[in-house]
A and B are shown apart, each in its own frame.
Chain A
């Protein structure tokens, strides 16, 4: 079942074209890795999919089809439409809804089930992680027609997710990413992903800045949160070491704004051995 279908995507930053006809499909239950030389457009792809201002789409389309969510598979964050589907008053395809991703504002894409793990997570002085995430999660739930979580319900989920990633609640009470090391910021992104529980995660160089132990913790986190039949992950990565922990189903090479090669997990090892020049051209 397809989750994300990118067709011939062209995008520019200012006058400079970066994506030059990128085509890629992700199915539910799949983990894809994107590797490629610097400047190829890997981060640009993530920013274009999440709607960052300054990135202009000049051609192509992106269809997003988050699968029907089952309360049993979720951590209790079911869609309010689930009951209606079970009753029969709503057909599953009406709930799923093919979404023209590029027509939505960034906050609407998040509510539809998209999550971008930032390469450089932003520091927000004066706003605590807890407050930020509770408001974000409830804004998404409101957009989907779901009831908001109470303070207590939210704290329970936050505690679980933070604990699973080796972060204590004290860190969550501090302002967003302020005073966090690079590795802590990346782990904080994973805590956020666990709390928000998206359908599709695009993780932009999530492994950069991580030491060996943090790499294992983050890798385990991605597997625990996202390796599910109704979710998908797009891992944007420079190095193959994260892929030791999160084994991809597909590896793509993004060079000069397009996908130039696709293979299985072993392609990452080939690239590591032989470099991009040989295989990417």
Chain B
């Protein structure tokens, strides 16, 4: 095992270093290659017990015109850390839909690096997080576009909801662009439950916990739509939300 990282390392800036000590294989990297013209779908589901530490490093290479669809549910463990590195060749496509839910003293984090190394590739990342208690939820997402990667089309949509003001959300979308004919959209917001909507729901008879659940379900709803294993992903997400409200 290598030495522990420190917070000076940008990728670990918001992490729980103490918890990392007990991660059994924190440096292990799973490698996946999507062949030319192939399509693969994957899910990473972290519903570990809060006493455990969950770390998953995934490295993906998508060959020319290949498609990779990845869905992530990161809700378990004292620390739930998911690191994804993606390299996109000509005309490749990468889609990420991720939901992060944290309560108590959890730290959930998603670190992505999407490298458009050749032209015409597309990447779409949609991340929705809900944090309560003293939890910390982070998204560090870098999109790197190489000098010759013209016609790159990349989107990052990151939204976080704080249920308590003691919770923390970090959102760090990052673009490093060396080509000049590209589209790179990025948006990040951190907010709270809409109180007008909460009163409207209450005035129609919904008790506060039910009203919160309804609004939070709506907040994360579109992330897993059409995903492989959508039912299981949604069920696990709702089960965690149930505990949080």
Chain A interfacial positions (CB closer than 8 Å to B): 50-53, 105-107, 109-111, 116, 118, 121-122, 124-127, 131-133, 135-137, 139-140, 143, 175, 192, 196
Contacts and interface: CB of A to CB of B under 8 A. Distances in A.
A196 B208 CA distance: 19
A136 B199 contact: no
Interface stretch (B76-84, B90-98, B134-142, B213-221): B213-221
B99 to A, nearest CB: 14
Contacts of A196: 204-205
Contacts, number: 74
Majority DSSP secondary structure for residues of B touching A: helix
Given A124-B215, A126-B219, A110 B204 contact: yes
Interface in B135-155: none
Contact of A139 (B194, B205, B217): B205
B222 interface: yes
Contact of A140 (B195, B197, B200, B205): B205
Contacts of A110: 202-205
Main secondary structure of the interface of A (DSSP, over half): helix
Of listed B205, B208, B219, B221, residue having the most chain A CB within 10 A: B205
A13 to B, nearest CB: 14
A116 to B, nearest CB: 5
A32 B211 CA distance: 31
Given A124-B197, A124-B200, A136 B205 contact: yes
Given A124-B218, A139-B210, A116 B203 contact: yes
Contacts of B199: 52-53, 106, 122
Given A124-B218, A126-B219, A126-B221, A136 B206 contact: yes
B21 to A, nearest CB: 40
B214 A122 contact: no
Please tell me the size bucket of the interface on B: 20 to 34
A110 B195 CA distance: 18
B31 interface: no
A10 to B, nearest CB: 22
15 contacts: A50-B203, A51-B202, A51-B203, A105-B207, A106-B199, A107-B207, A107-B211, A110-B203, A121-B200, A122-B200, A126-B217, A132-B214, A136-B205, A139-B205, A139-B206
Interface in B187-236: 194-197, 199-208, 210-211, 214-215, 217-219, 221-222
B196 to A, nearest CB: 5
A273 to B, nearest CB: 35
Given A105-B208, A175-B218, A192-B204, 12 more contacts: A110-B202, A110-B204, A122-B199, A124-B215, A126-B217, A126-B218, A132-B201, A133-B204, A135-B210, A137-B205, A139-B205, A139-B210
Contact of B214 (A105, A135, A143): A135
A58 to B, nearest CB: 20
B36 to A, nearest CB: 38
Contact of B202 (A105, A126, A131): A105
B193 to A, nearest CB: 11
A105 B205 CA distance: 10
Given A107-B208, A122-B197, A135-B210, A127 B203 contact: no
Nearest to B210: A139
Given A124-B215, A124-B218, A125-B218, A143 B205 contact: yes
